[in-house]
Amino acid sequence: MTSTETQPEARPETRSGPDTRPDPPSVRIIAEIRRRIATGELRPGDRVPSTRSITREWGVAMATATKVLSTLGREGLVQVVPGVATVVAVPASRRSAGPSRPAPGRGTPAVRAETREPEQFLTRERIVRTAIAVADEEGMAALSMRRIAAELSVSAMSLYRYVPGKDELVALMADTVFGDLEPSRPDITGWRARMETTCRVQWDLYRTHRWLAQALSLTRPRPMPKAMAQVEWMMAEVDGLDQDEMLYIALTVIGFTRGAGTDIDSEFEAERSTGLNNTDWLRSQVPALHNILSSGAYPMYTGVAARNAVFDLDTLFDFGLNRLLDGIGAFIEERTGRRAS
């Protein structure tokens, strides 16, 4: 027997594990855009699909689309050009040789901008969008001025010409994602419909940007005009109450949604650190729970356990929101003497 025959035989057809799983959507989308660039379908200076285009074309979440463009940017394949879009980057060999004449019929601003030093087209919006992409992909723990500077290939000190510090950056990030929502719809009437719409829209926003709920504060709020505009729209059809009561209702409603939203990020971090999703973790607690319930002192919990009830954040949010709005309706009716609707 030769030495090569003593080696373990590779049998790909029987291998199991991560190699057999389908690639995540972001990996497939990145590969497709790389292909378009490599084949010349997308040429230097051409716009690449925006995050919204990616969500429409591939049916993925905004966070996945942001991750795609962030990854391609780190690879040097694309770059954000202020006033233009995210475009295919000019190869380093062409940048060092100086600007080249664009192909006939193609726009020149993106190509010319790519020949500049990065700090020459640094903007506050670009800094904020980069910070959002980092936080979406890796969480707030990864966010720092130094990290954002590295993503943009600029010095950390250059960021402070546009953003005073991290706290201000986070406030800008939050207001920006609120501003990305669709404009408030005038066809939605009635205080309850508007409150429910606002809460559900914000709930979806917390799912897309897991860091957002933790970045907000009810006790030390920062002025954020885009977020404030949503609250104004939500409260516009509440009447018969004084201004203090209006404010407390608004804070109670958005505080409930934000409070529920903080658990989204907590659950994500817990799953990442333990490797257990919510269902698996609850199953791991069954033996300890049974020991507690066997005393007979917890009839409600015993009944729930007997039913094998499913707990999830969306169900809890729906139940809590409806009960909260019921209570607000009763309060408005009591204060105004007419049925709230």
323, with CB counted inside 10 A (0-12, 13-18, 19+), is: exposed
What pLDDT, on the 0 to 100 scale, is given for residue 286?
A: 82
What pLDDT, on the 0 to 100 scale, is given for residue 341?
A: 64
**Short-list 84, 189, 248, CA closest to 197:** 189
Radius of gyration, alpha carbons of the chain: 26
What pLDDT, on the 0 to 100 scale, is given for residue 287?
A: 86
| CATH code for the structural domain at 186-336 | 1.10.357.10
Span(s) in the chain for CATH 1.10.357.10: 186-336
Q: 83: left (phi > 0), else alpha (psi -120 to 50), else beta?
A: left
What pLDDT, on the 0 to 100 scale, is given for residue 233?
A: 93
- Residues 324, 326, 327, CA angle at the centre, nearest 5°? 65
SS3 of 81, please?
A: strand
Low-confidence ranges of the chain (pLDDT < 50): 1-18, 83-84, 94-117
pLDDT digits (tens, 9 = 90+) for 150-170: 888 888 899 999 999 999 999
Task: State the Cα–Cα distance between residues 247 and 282, nearest whole angstrom.
Answer: 38
Span(s) in the chain for CATH 1.10.10.60: 25-96+107-178
Q: Does domain 25-96+107-178 have CATH number 3.30.300.30?
A: no
**Short-list 271, 264, 273, 249, CA closest to 316:** 264
What pLDDT, on the 0 to 100 scale, is given for residue 12?
A: 41
Q: Where are the beta strands (DSSP E) in 85-127?
A: 85-88
What pLDDT, on the 0 to 100 scale, is given for residue 319?
A: 93
What pLDDT, on the 0 to 100 scale, is given for residue 248?
A: 95
Task: Return the residue matching tokens 């060092």.
Answer: 96
What pLDDT, on the 0 to 100 scale, is given for residue 160?
A: 92
What pLDDT, on the 0 to 100 scale, is given for residue 257?
A: 94
Task: State the Cα–Cα distance between residues 103 and 170, nearest whole angstrom.
Answer: 41
**Short-list 188, 184, 191, 178, CA closest to 236:** 191
Q: Where are the beta strands (DSSP E) in the chain?
A: 78-81, 85-88
